[in-house]
Chain A
Amino acid sequence: MELNTLTAHALIELLNKKDISPIDICNNIINRIDKTEKTLNALAHFDKEKSRQRCENLREGTEKRGRLWGIPIFIKDNISVKDELTTCSSKILKDFRSPYNATVIEKLLAANAVLMGKTNMDEFAFGSSTETSCYGPTRNPWDPKRIPGGSSGGSAAAVAGDEAIFALGSDTGGSIRQPAGVCGVVGLKPTYGRVSRYGLIAFASSLDQIGPITKDVEDAAILLKTISGHDEMDSTSADMSVPDYASGMKKNIKGMKIGIPKEYFIEGMDKEVKDSIKLAIEKLESLGAICENMSLPHTEYAVSVYYLVATAEASSNLARFDGVQYGLRAENIKSIIDMYKKTRKEGFGDEAKRRIILGTFALSSGYYDAYYLKALKARTLIRKDFDEAFKKFDAIVTPTSPTAAFKIGEKISDPLTMYLSDIFTISANLAGIPGISIPCGFTKNNLPVGLQILGKPFDEETILKVAYNYEQNTDWHKRKPAL
């Protein structure tokens, strides 16, 4: 059995029985990476010997094992790991090594997980295809001519391609769910505030959340439990108890009320995607859920609101990259202003520049009311749509994306078309609610289709329950790409 193809919960069982040791898993992963990484380019930073050493270190002092003892994990490159490269796949942070660990990393280490390396991403998480990375594009394991989604495309491709058991991503407008969807794996964006953002290099602080990308729903539940909880280092993290998701989700969904919003079945979406979702809804009904058509009337404004709010926040957050404290500094400069401008010219890629300028524009004098403030008010309407819906429904089911994975290069020259590929995932971030994407079918070209399940704030348990019940009665998640 190739251990790299297994889930974390299956490996935990084997480790408990002492059938295998952590170094066996690690070596299987390294073999796989040697074979497939040339094709996928899913990893930004990876050191074999260091990973092996971390497994060896685990052997000593193992009186009490953490829940993830010996399980290797990959981390998106915008999450800080002490003394390791943390570059957001951007030239401007080339060579940056974080002096501290993000809170999620401290929690993983406390659970005895083994940190393997960092995954490739769109530069500063700006993108839906992992094409804007300074390390070049990541490729989809199901068809290397296609994108793996983004911005956590490296994490999703590594998990789908069995280079990783599971991984962390971050989701600001769909950056966990959309890549998980088009790579045929599970991706969960927690409720805003569920997981500490301390040590996550900020893109849009009112939208960002860290979450798991895994091979099945049970692993998502285990990893979410490990990284969740209040953190005094992040004042927006919620002081609420964290349930044991993996046991709570195993109850059935009989009588559960699920809403199907008509705005998520639009013109221009793939017929094959639509058909897969319809069959998934029928499956949920056969499991006892009551599915009903409903409306989230302000959905069509979500992309507009998002690209004003997210870029405005990004333009402010990325002001810190100025060549003073870390990262790149341009040479041959005449003055300090010249240093800022040349450093940012050389250090940021095309999409980062575009978003910073758009966000600066939306916040600038004379345009603030017409763009930024209006977007914040429209955000209220999008939130209220969900508040109303959740008075009646326990969960909402939609496609994760309007299409399966598109080709590398297909949308990169037209930013607006690229932005529209986030159309079904953005609203959850604007409303702060949790969402999960699970595999629910394949197109005739053998490309995965994702089913998105949205839930009430801090009710990850219900969406995991719907996801788990669906998964246990289908076998999409067992398919592997021929890589």
Chain B
Amino acid sequence: MAINRDTVKYTANLARIELSDKELDHFTDQLGRILAYVDKLNTLDVAKHEPTSHVLEMKNIYREDIVKKSLPAPEVIKNAPDRENNLFKVPKIIDTEA
């Protein structure tokens, strides 16, 4: 299946990446060629097979529910581009005009 410019634009928005017109053009072309290559999977009959999302025989890992020391808040927050009182600061999320 080929991918078109609108699908790339839509997907980039889902991924929260702004693309220039030039990027949109070359990603559409490149992703089209990559998807054409991976289409070879269609020649494989996989209907009867279980998916492998993980190679280990994974079970739930339980641990004792005890309080342990964690990093102090100033350490956790020190890399934030904007912060106040040990909190992450972000632009307004709720639009009050609506």
Contact = CB atoms under 8 A, between A and B. Distances in A.
A381 B51 contact: no
B55 A192 contact: yes
Contacts of A301: 40-41, 44
A171 B46 CA distance: 27
Interface in B23-69: 23, 27, 30-31, 33-34, 37-38, 40-42, 44, 46, 49-56, 58, 61, 63
A354 B31 contact: yes
A377 B50 contact: yes
Contact of A235 (B7, B61, B81, B93): B61
Contact of A329 (B13, B61, B82): B82
B98 interface: no
Contacts of B79: 95-97, 99, 325-327
Q: How large, as a class, is the contact surface on chain B? A: 35 or more
A379 B78 CA distance: 41
Contact of B11 (A319, A322, A344, A357): A357
A356 B80 contact: no
Contacts of B2: none
Contacts of A381: 44, 46, 49
Q: Interface majority SS on B: helix, strand, loop or mixed?
A: loop
B19 A345 contact: yes
Contacts of A3: none
A415 B1 CA distance: 18
Interface stretch (A257-265, A330-338, A447-455): A330-338
A415 B30 CA distance: 7
A345 to B, nearest CB: 4
Interface residues of A, number: 69
B38 A304 contact: yes
A81 to B, nearest CB: 14
A315 B15 contact: yes
A376 B53 contact: yes
Contacts of B50: 377, 380
A307 B27 contact: no
A390 to B, nearest CB: 14
B3 A361 contact: yes
A380 B34 contact: no
A114 interface: no
Nearest to A371: B38
B16 A307 contact: no
Contacts of A376: 51-53
Interface core residue of B1, B44, B55, B95 (most chain A CB under 10 Å)? B55
A208 to B, nearest CB: 12
Nearest to B53: A376
B36 to A, nearest CB: 9
Contact of B41 (A324, A378, A430): A378
B27 A336 contact: no
A328 to B, nearest CB: 7
Contacts of B30: 354, 415-416
Contacts of B14: 360, 364
A339 B1 CA distance: 33
Contacts of B80: 324-326
Contacts of A340: 16
B41 A336 contact: no
A41 B14 CA distance: 36
Contacts of B8: 357
A58 interface: no
Interface of B: 1, 3, 7-8, 11-19, 23, 27, 30-31, 33-34, 37-38, 40-42, 44, 46, 49-56, 58, 61, 63, 71, 75-76, 78-82, 88, 90-93, 95
Given A326-B80, A380-B46, 6 more contacts: A238-B56, A326-B81, A344-B15, A360-B15, A361-B11, A361-B31
Nearest first, the 4 closest Cβ-Cβ pairs linking A and B are: A432-B55, A376-B51, A329-B81, A377-B46
14 contacts: A192-B56, A324-B80, A337-B16, A342-B18, A345-B19, A357-B15, A358-B34, A364-B11, A374-B44, A379-B51, A380-B51, A416-B33, A416-B34, A430-B52
